[in-house]
Amino acid sequence: MSDVPSPVAAASLPAAECRPGWPGRAGAAATLGIVAILPLVLRDSYGRGLLIAGALNVIQALGLDLILGFAGQLDLGAAAFYGIGAYVSTLLVMLAGVGFWPALALGTLAAGVMGGVLALLTVRLRGHYLAIASLGFAVITYQVLLNWISLTQGPLGLYGITPPAGFTDPVRLFYLIAACAVLVFAALRALLASPVGATLAALREDEISAASLGIDCRRWKAFAFAVGSAVAGLAGGLYPGFAGTLVPDAFAPADSFGVLAMVIVGGIGTLRGPVLGAVVLTLAPELLRGIGDARMIVYGLALTLVVLFMPGGLDGAWRMAAARLRRNQAG
Amino acid sequence: MTGPGAAPLLTAEDLHKRFGGVQAVGGLSFTLPPATVLAVIGPNGAGKSTLLNLLSGVHRADAGRLSFAGTELAALPAHRRARLGLARTFQKIRLFRHLSVLENVLAGFYTQHRIPTWQYLLHGPAFHADRRRCRQAAAELLAFVGLLARAATPAGALAYGEQRLLEIARALATQPRLLLLDEPAAGLNGAETEALRVRLTALRGRGLAMILVEHDMDLVTRIADQVLVMHYGQKLFAGTPAAMREDAGVIAAYLGGELA
Amino acid sequence: MFVLAVQQGLNGLVLGSLYVLVALGLTLVYGVLVQINFAHADFVMIGAFSAYFVTHALHGDYLLSLAAAGAVGALLGYLVNAAIFAPLLGKGSELRPLIATIGVSVMLENGALALLGPVPYAFATRYSAEVIRFGPLYLTAQSVIILAVAATAIVLLHGFLRFTFLGKALRAVAQDRETAGLMGIAPDRLIMLTFIIGSALAGLGGALLAPVLVLTPFAGTSVIVKAFAIVIIGGFGNIEGTILAGLLVGLIEAMTTQVLDPGLIDIVVFGLLLAMLVIRPTGLIAERREENV
DSSP line for chain B: ---TTSPPSEEEEEEEEEETTEEEEEEEEEEE-TT-EEEEE-STTSSHHHHHHHHHTSS--SEEEEEETTEE-TT--HHHHHHHTEEE--SS----TTSBHHHHHHHTTGGG----GGGGTS--HHHHHHHHHHHHHHHHHHHHTT-GGGTTSBGGGS-HHHHHHHHHHHHHTT--SEEEEESTTTT--HHHHHHHHHHHHHHHHTT-EEEEE-S-HHHHHHH-SEEEEEETTEEEEEE-HHHHHH-HHHIIIIIHHHH-
Does the distance separating the beta carbons of B148 and A212 come in below 8 Å?
no
**b (16+ CB within 10 A) / e for C180-191:** beeeebebeebb
DSSP string, B48-86: HHHHHHHHHTSS--SEEEEEETTEE-TT--HHHHHHHTE
Taking CA C274 as the corner, what is the angle to CA C271 and CA C279, rounded to the nearest 5 degrees?
A: 120
Chain A hits for C87, CB-CB cut-off 8 Å, are 308
Which of A26-30, A161-165, B85-89, C158-162 is predicted most confidently? B85-89
- Lowest-confidence pick of A23-32, A226-235, B216-225, C15-24: A23-32
pLDDT of residue A3: 39
Model ipTM value: 0.91
- Among residues A239, A200, A205, which one has the least CA distance to residue A222? A200
Three-state SS for A139-186 is HHHHHHHHHCHHHHCHHHCECCCCCCCCCCCHHHHHHHHHHHHHHHHH
B112 to chain C nearest CA, in Å? Answer: 26
Tell me: the pLDDT tens digits for A67-83?
999 999 989 999 999 99
Backbone angles phi, psi at B136, to 5 degrees: -60, -50
Three-state SS for C272-288 is HHHHHHHHCCCCCCCCC
Q: Are C14 and C139 in contact (CB under 8 A)?
A: yes
Judged against a pLDDT cut of 60, whether residue A193 lies above it is answered with: yes
pLDDT of residue C269: 78
pLDDT of residue B149: 94
Nearest-angstrom CA–CA distance, A302 and A296: 10
pLDDT of residue A228: 98
Quick one: chain A helix, strand, coil %, rounded to 5?
80, 0, 20
Interchain contact C80–A (C-beta under 8 A): no
H or E stretch including C266? helix C262-279
Does the distance separating the beta carbons of B90 and C292 come in below 8 Å?
no
Nearest-angstrom CA–CA distance, B101 and B38: 29
- Among residues B172, B36, B21, which one has the least CA distance to residue B105? B172
Residues 6+ apart with CB under 8 A from A230: A63, A81, A108, A109, A111, A112, A115
Nearest-angstrom CA–CA distance, A2 and A266: 44
Tell me: the pLDDT tens digits for A111-126?
999 999 999 888 777 6
Chains touching B (at least 3 CB pairs under 8 A) are A, C
Residue A298 exposed, middle or buried by CB count within 10 Å (0-12, 13-18, 19+) = middle
User: What amino acid occupies position C16?
Assistant: G
**For an interface test with B, which of C91, C289, C292 has the most B Cβ atoms less than 10 Å from its Cβ?**
C292
Residue A66 carries which DSSP code? Answer: I
Secondary structure class of C293 (helix, strand, coil) = coil
pLDDT of residue B125: 93
DSSP string, C90-154: TS--SHHHHHHHHHHHHHHHHHHHHHH-SSPBP---TTTS-EEEETTEEEEHHHHHHHHHHHHHH
Share of chain B above pLDDT 70, in %: 95
Does the distance separating the beta carbons of B135 and A13 come in below 8 Å?
yes
Q: Are A177 and B107 in contact (CB under 8 A)?
A: no
pLDDT of residue C283: 63
Three-state SS for C29-91 is HHHHHCCCCCCHHHHHHHHHHHHHHHHHCCCCCHHHHHHHHHHHHHHHHHHHHHHHHHHHCCC
Nearest-angstrom CA–CA distance, A221 and A134: 13
A45 to chain C nearest CA, in Å? Answer: 28
Q: Considering its fold, how many domains does chain C have in total?
A: 1
Q: Are C107 and C39 in contact (CB under 8 A)?
A: no
Which pLDDT band, with edges at 50, 70 and 90, does A293 fall under? low
Per-residue pLDDT of chain C (293 residues; tens, 9 = 90+): 677 788 888 888 888 999 999 999 888 888 877 788 889 999 999 999 999 999 888 887 888 889 999 999 999 999 999 998 888 887 767 778 888 999 999 899 988 988 888 888 888 777 777 888 877 777 888 888 889 998 998 888 888 888 887 777 777 776 665 565 666 667 778 888 889 999 999 999 999 988 877 888 888 887 888 888 888 888 777 788 889 989 988 888 888 877 777 667 778 877 877 777 777 766 665 555 566 66
- List C residues 93-122 in contact with A (Cβ-Cβ < 8 A): 94-96, 98-111, 113-114
Please tell me the CATH code under which domain B1-85+176-260 is placed.
Answer: 3.40.50.300
Residues 6+ apart with CB under 8 A from B65: B11, B12, B13, B14, B72, B74
Helices A313-330 and A255-266 pack at an angle, to 10 degrees, of 10
Nearest-angstrom CA–CA distance, C175 and C173: 5
Judged against a pLDDT cut of 50, whether residue A10 lies above it is answered with: yes
DSSP string, A20-51: --HHHHHHHHHHHHHHHHHHHH--SHHHHHHH
The HSE-up count of residue A48 (CA atoms within 13 Å, CB side) is 19
Nearest-angstrom CA–CA distance, C232 and C19: 13
Which pLDDT band, with edges at 50, 70 and 90, does B2 fall under? very low
Angstrom distances, CA of residue C165 to CA of B66, C34, C159, C176, C179 = 48, 22, 11, 16, 14
Interface contacts (A, B; CB < 8 Å)? 132
- List C residues 262-291 in contact with B (Cβ-Cβ < 8 A): 290
Tell me: the pLDDT tens digits for B32-74?
999 999 999 988 888 999 999 999 999 999 999 999 998 999 8
In DSSP terms, which residues pair with A282 in a beta bridge? none
CATH number at residue C10: 1.10.3470
Domain ranges of chain B: 1-85+176-260, 98-173
Residue A71 carries which DSSP code? Answer: S
Residue range A241-261: mean pLDDT, rounded: 90
Comparing A255 with A198, which gets the higher pLDDT? A198
Q: Which residues of A touch B (CB under 8 A)?
A: 1-2, 5-6, 9-10, 12-14, 16, 18, 187, 190-191, 193-196, 198-199, 201-202, 205-206, 208-217
pLDDT of residue B156: 94
pLDDT of residue A19: 56
Nearest-angstrom CA–CA distance, A231 and A85: 9
Tell me: the pLDDT tens digits for B117-141?
899 999 999 999 999 999 999 999 9
> Within a 10 A sphere around the Cβ of A25, how many other Cβ atoms?
11
Specify the pairing of strand B10-19 against strand B22-32.
antiparallel
End-to-end CA distance of chain C: 56
Does the distance separating the beta carbons of A212 and B88 come in below 8 Å?
yes
Does the distance separating the beta carbons of A299 and C106 come in below 8 Å?
yes
Structural domain harbouring C281: 2-291
pLDDT of residue A6: 47
Chains touching C (at least 3 CB pairs under 8 A) are A, B
Secondary structure class of A194 (helix, strand, coil) = coil
pTM (two decimals): 0.89
pLDDT of residue A70: 96
H or E stretch including C11? helix C2-33
Q: Are A259 and A273 in contact (CB under 8 A)?
A: no
Nearest-angstrom CA–CA distance, A235 and A68: 17
Residue C4 exposed, middle or buried by CB count within 10 Å (0-12, 13-18, 19+) = exposed
